[in-house]
A and B are shown apart, each in its own frame.
Chain A
Amino acid sequence: MYLLNRKQRHVVNYTWMIISLLLVAFLPFLLFIGLYFKSVLLLHDYSLFDLIFSKSWKPASGQFGFYPFIVGSVWVTLVSMLISAPICLLTAIYVTQYTRKNFLRIMHPAIDILAGIPSVVYGLWGILVIVPFISRYLGPWLDVKTMGYSILAASFVLSIMIIPFILNILIEIFKAIPMELKEAALSLGATQWQTIKHVLLKKALPGIIAAFGFGLARAFGETMAVLMVVGNVVKLPKSLFDPGYTLPALIANNYGEMLSIPKYDSALMFAALLLLAVSLFFNLVMHFFIVRYNKF
């Protein structure tokens, strides 16, 4: 029935496991090294400081300033976090503390569907709903001139996209808080909201920060949806209603022209390297928050 005997099969399976494991374990390092070698050409000629803080982006004449893209990315990320962080926190508290178990049974599929919708579809929805809303209603109402394609539109779409991600972590965190802690506070005469404010939130704080950090890293690297609604103008945005440009959008928009100028290619790989570094950094820091949280 089998080609090999038991021992041989064990050896085959074991080797297969080890090879796969090594491949996976070295993946982040491989990515880092690969992208670093591609961006060496650029890093050789320009200092890191110049690349990050120079404002002029003219690849054809050899000027590679990433500042507008970094600023755009930071704006979009921070504003989207400002929108989705309170919503996620309030919802997580509500569904874990106030509602019955059945409500989570409705909430979980809803979160799963939100998480499953592809980013292109989010982008399309942004173009269909958010962009016209900003250009036709919000802009005129606040008396600003805007095309709709703006930092704000990107932030809003992005904030919806990261809700399922943050919310899932937050719900897990609030579920993991021991019941006794709550009961102790309630038995001392605290109301439900006082218990939440003084006991639950304090206990969950490292976890909450970690959840927001993971969300932030996720938002920073999101590409297609942001690319579709952010406007893609290389300029420092002055207000939320201005169009902007983000690092991932820069890479995605220029993949076709990459090869014609070697330094351009290198610059885009440097942008990818920056994204990788930011993502690894945030995830590392937040991981230690979670580890600390688990020790309590």
Chain B
Amino acid sequence: MTRGQKIEEKFFKALMILATYFILAILAIIIYSIFEKGLRSISWEMLTQVPQGGYYYGKGGGILNAILGSLALAAGATLLAFIIGLPVALYINVFLIRHKKVINVIRFLLDLVWGIPSIVYGAFGFSLMIFFGLQTSLLAGILTVTLFVLPIMIRSMDEILRTVPIGLQEAAYSLGSNKSEIAFKVFTRQSISGIITAVLLSFGRAIGDAAAVLFTAGYTDHMPNGLLEPVATLPLSIFFQLSSPVPEVQNRAYASALVLTLIILIVSLFSRGLGKRYHKTKINF
């Protein structure tokens, strides 16, 4: 090895280490600045009250409406996406198992849909809403976000379901099960940990997305009441508070961002924990 080669080797290795630690450092900086700013301005009042009069000029109140609204919206969308998504993922892996080409086309379509930016869903949801004469409401928000998380839900379930060994399927057939029994009783049970992970992943995406709900869910200072009423969401409350010129209101945006980040961190922790826990019910081959 010549000296030049040695230097090249060292140089690129150093660059690689630099890049890797750059990513870790950026993550640390992001988490630190969110926590540092957020912890300073968060208060019990913020978590337990709705905005009072003059809230956006620095008067009292909190973001309880946005927290509950976001939770309701994300839960609704995740539930709906689960109801539509699980059968699709099962259908691909149980009914179409012998038609590799069809499976590939469906997976390809799902990947295409996954890549579509959420603002496009927002615009589409908005025009659907106008078409059906709906107002901005929790329902419209849920429907739009459902479309947005659906591909995420299906593809992550699909990744787990495709690892179910063919032997398990054959064993179930030999005991006289039909296809839908195999799908809903055998496959779901075998992949329960992956399904939970997929649901939590979708929930995290649903609660963090702002562009899709911007047009459809509206915004309100009241608590969410009813599917046909507009609803406040955390990402939008952060966005609106941040664009205020009043420093107190901006501080509340930092606190709201901390709340949102914490919710997402907790959800992702849960999905790791639960995934491990249900590993035991799995049949190992």
Q: Tell me the A residues contacting B by CB distance below 8 Å.
A: 6, 9-10, 13-14, 16-18, 20-21, 23-25, 27-28, 31, 34-35, 38, 86-88, 90-91, 93-95, 98, 107, 109-110, 112-114, 116-125, 127-129, 160, 163, 167, 191-194, 214, 217-218, 220-224, 228, 248, 251-252, 255, 258-259, 268-269, 272, 275-276, 279-280, 282-284, 287
Contact = CB atoms under 8 A, between A and B. Distances in A.
Interface centre among B85, B87, B154 (most CB of A within 10 A): B87
Interface stretch (B52-60, B163-171, B210-218, B274-282): B210-218
Interface centre among B18, B27, B260, B272 (most CB of A within 10 A): B27
Interface in B165-194: 178-181, 183-184
Contacts of A221: 116-120
A87 B19 contact: yes
A167 B116 CA distance: 19
B120 A35 contact: yes
Nearest to B238: A120
B118 to A, nearest CB: 7
6 contacts: A27-B150, A87-B23, A91-B19, A110-B23, A122-B30, A282-B115
Contacts of A283: 111-112, 115
A6 B47 CA distance: 49
B147 to A, nearest CB: 7
Contact of A287 (B15, B108, B120, B150): B108
Given A90-B16, A91-B23, A124-B254, A24 B110 contact: yes
Nearest to A11: B180
Interface centre among A13, A24, A255 (most CB of B within 10 A): A24
Interface centre among B9, B83, B90, B127 (most CB of A within 10 A): B127
Contacts, number: 240
Contacts of B126: 255, 258
B267 to A, nearest CB: 8
A220 B184 CA distance: 39
A17 B91 contact: yes
A120 B127 contact: no
A275 to B, nearest CB: 5
Interface in B189-232: 204, 207-211, 214-215
A31 B127 contact: no
Nearest to A125: B30
A117 B26 contact: no
A128 B23 contact: no
A266 to B, nearest CB: 10
Given A113-B268, A127-B242, A91 B211 contact: no
A6 B15 CA distance: 62
A167 B151 CA distance: 20
Nearest to A38: B127
B12 interface: yes
A41 to B, nearest CB: 12
Interface of B: 1, 5, 8-9, 12-13, 15-20, 22-24, 26-27, 29-31, 33-34, 37, 83-85, 87-88, 90-92, 95, 106, 108-113, 115-124, 126-128, 130, 147, 150-151, 154, 178-181, 183-184, 204, 207-211, 214-215, 235-236, 238-239, 242, 253-254, 257, 260-261, 264-265, 267-268, 272
Contacts of B20: 90-91, 94-95, 107
Tell me if B's interface is mostly helix, strand, loop or mixed.
Answer: helix
A261 B33 CA distance: 42
Contact of A268 (B92, B118, B123, B128): B123
Interface centre among A114, A116, A122 (most CB of B within 10 A): A116
A117 B208 contact: yes
B112 A193 contact: no
Interface centre among A224, A252, A279 (most CB of B within 10 A): A224
A124 B27 contact: no
A107 B113 CA distance: 28
B75 to A, nearest CB: 16
A231 to B, nearest CB: 13
Given A110-B24, A283-B111, A191 B208 contact: no
B12 A24 contact: no
A23 B84 contact: yes
B112 A284 contact: yes
Nearest to B86: A20
Contacts of B12: 90, 193
A113 B27 contact: yes
Nearest to B154: A24
Contact of A28 (B19, B109, B130): B109
B91 A248 contact: no
Given A16-B87, A193-B13, A275-B119, A34 B19 contact: no
A120 B143 CA distance: 21
A86 B22 CA distance: 12
Contacts of B16: 90-91, 93-94, 98
B116 A120 contact: no
B124 A128 contact: no
Nearest to A258: B126
A17 B214 CA distance: 31
A11 B151 CA distance: 25
Contacts of B154: 24
